[in-house]
Structure 1
């Protein structure tokens, strides 16, 4: 816990929060345009003495509930709330895995007419995809939303039918799921892990290995029923401000895999 930085941040945000912003009548003369300590303490549901000690860098270690109350009273943004928690030595609470894909990302997928691309969230739910992705992996829209999940696809069949490359790719996806830091506090991630651990011995064994690795770039080999053998580079690009990532599947020009992607595009 960085008491000095926490005190500075609280003083700064209090001075920037006007009474009218939180539904208070300014009333009387004020030395600063922001809230008084007494007003902020009242809004956050704490004693004035407790808050003063926090601003003086000598208070007790505030609980998560107290910090959340302060963030609400100060009208902090999500990023500011996370920053406040970190200053107090608390790990930020992850938001629910997002389901809505920004319009600008959807437009980008449409423009990528020669590269298979999709958007996934922290649970590996497939949220959006382009026509080339449909040509490569089939149409996710043919499945109910619950089944549009990469991990459920990877661990839903007989592992003996998978190639070594596919098993390595599956293991790296599991390591990436653990690397997000959402387990075990995120209910959606925990539910997915519990479900797959119960239904797939392969997943349970990989999860128990506690491998941790953020997925940034990898190579995936597979056999397509029309295009044949494919060796594709997979790039994971984060969507700023969200827990979503764009996955791009590309192949080096001049390779058989590149020619196979062109074949899929023509179809």
Structure 2
């Protein structure tokens, strides 16, 4: 681990960003350019003290998970991310597999979507990032796999009308089959398929049907516990390699869903569900 070079790289990467670049409010006038150390710590989920020690050449070896979080918070390109790993004495993620490093372009757009639910997902269902509206709409799924949760945690289906469950499940499985065929050596999707075939009878039956389809955003109905039923339009923006997509939900102005989505934006993450 090259502590001096790592500290210099982190400091330079931090100072080239502004709060609005990462979806934060600028707040009071700043004496120095860039993000503050505590803001980087907030974005990565580490303590300010630990991040400060890294910039002061005193930090312990960061884990791979921590390096991934730093690369995401500092909006590093793939080349810069690999350089960060090397400075920390770690091997970068190998090419050809699933990517959990979000494309900076997708993150840039996500940071600027304040009034619409938006999230970045991998092509096999890994939730890589969500904005506040996305969390308010469907809960915090960052780090989880939506396909795994759909077939193993029935409570996650409560936001979807029962009559839509079959279509959702079929689309999930068909898309996953297409991904595993396209990347047979990628351990992530393969392990997910193996686990779900062993634990979910519903998944196994759908898998045996051998339907294949690439993911296509489509209108979605959601039963929100506070604002009520929502009929949302869904659009997706693919990364260059099609391995990640930014999914944005919206409603047509003048509709009841539009008004309810506005209410959700005001409510935010407040828990307004009635007590039992």
Pair in the same fold by TM > 0.5? yes
Equivalence for 1:229: 229
Corresponding position of 1:112? 113
Residue 204 (structure 2) aligns with? 204
> Displacement, 1:233?
2.0
Contact preservation (8 Å) 1:235, 1:248:
yes
CA contact (8 A) 1:118 1:246 kept: yes
Alignment of 1:101-140 (within 5 A): 101-140=102-141
TM-score using structure 1 length: 0.58
Structure 1 position 104, deviation (Å):
2.8
Aligned residues: 169
User: Is the deviation greater in 155-164 or in 218-227?
Assistant: 155-164
Counterpart contact for 1:233–1:251, Cα < 8 Å: yes
How far did residue 186 of structure 1 move? 2.5
Q: What is the TM-score when the length of structure 2 is the normalising length?
A: 0.56
Distance 1:184 1:104 in 2: 27
The residue that corresponds to 2:149 in the other structure is 153
Which has the larger Rg? 1
TM-superposed deviation, 1:182? 3.2
1:24 maps to none
Contact 2:119 2:129 in 1 (8 A): yes
Instruction: Give deviations 1:145-170, integer Å, cap 9, x for gaps.
Output: 3xx11101211234997612133122
Matched residue of 1:264: which SS?
helix
Cα-Cα RMSD: 2.2
Provide the residue aligned with 1:238 in structure 2: 238
Hey, what does 1:179 align to over in structure 2? 178
What is the CA–CA distance in structure 2 between the aligned matches of 1:125 and 1:131, rounded to whole Å?
18
1:169 aligns to what?
Answer: 168
Question: Which of 237-246 and 174-183 deviates more?
Answer: 174-183
Segment of structure 1 superposing worse, 172-181 or 221-230:
172-181
Q: Which runs of 5+ in 2 are unaligned?
A: 1-94, 268-276
